[in-house]
Amino acid sequence: MKKAKEFYLTCRDGEKLEQTTITSSFLAAEYCRNFYFEDLEIYESFFLLMLNPSNVVIGWAKIAQGGVSTAVVDPKIIAKFAIDSLCTNVILCHNHPSGNTKPSEADKSLTRRIKEGLLLFDIKTLDHIILTKNSYFSFSDEDLI
């Protein structure tokens, strides 16, 4: 089995991503943009960033890809990747192809469930970023996490 650090630090085109320290929602959003291309405005995709205690990205995983308005996200899969990577912090990220950054009630509920579940393993959910082509929304910045 490959280590998360080696396996997950490449983006879709195979280029290696830097082990960036995430210190703000802006940096998290910009880092997550590496996972999207023309599909940012076509269908929803959900990603997980795994970070060490210093908030350095040690890996990432694509959790789900859906349709134009939803993606089915299983919190067990998120927990599996987080535990396997031995991360201490995570950042959730998904896009809204509609261009609307406002989180849905389903987005809020899912975020709460993931946060509560990961806390059982001492893994902190730092943020949930919603990306659009020209903007982003941060649950952390809006005190929703």
The CATH number covering residue 84 comes to 3.40.140.10
Look at residue 16 in the predicted model and tell me its pLDDT. 63
Look at residue 17 in the predicted model and tell me its pLDDT. 65
Q: Tokens 């730092």 appear where?
A: 126
Asked if residue 145 belongs to a domain, the reply is no
The answer to whether residues 93 and 36 touch, using CB atoms and an 8 Å cutoff, is no
Contacts of 32 by beta carbon, 8 Å cutoff, 6+ apart: 47, 49, 91, 93, 129, 131
Residues of the chain with pLDDT under 50: 1-7, 10-13
Asked if residue 143 belongs to a domain, the reply is no
Residue 20, CB half-sphere, CA atoms under 13 Å: how many? 18
Look at residue 46 in the predicted model and tell me its pLDDT. 94
Look at residue 73 in the predicted model and tell me its pLDDT. 94
Q: What's the pTM?
A: 0.87
For the chain, how many structural domains are there in total?
A: 1
Asked if residue 65 belongs to a domain, the reply is yes
Look at residue 20 in the predicted model and tell me its pLDDT. 87
Query: Domain span at residue 11?
Result: 4-138
Torsion over CA: 132, 78, 56, 121 (sign): positive
Select from 94, 12, 79, 27 the least CA-distant residue to 57: 27
What is d(CA 79, CA 85) in angstroms, rounded to the nearest whole number? Answer: 10
Look at residue 13 in the predicted model and tell me its pLDDT. 47
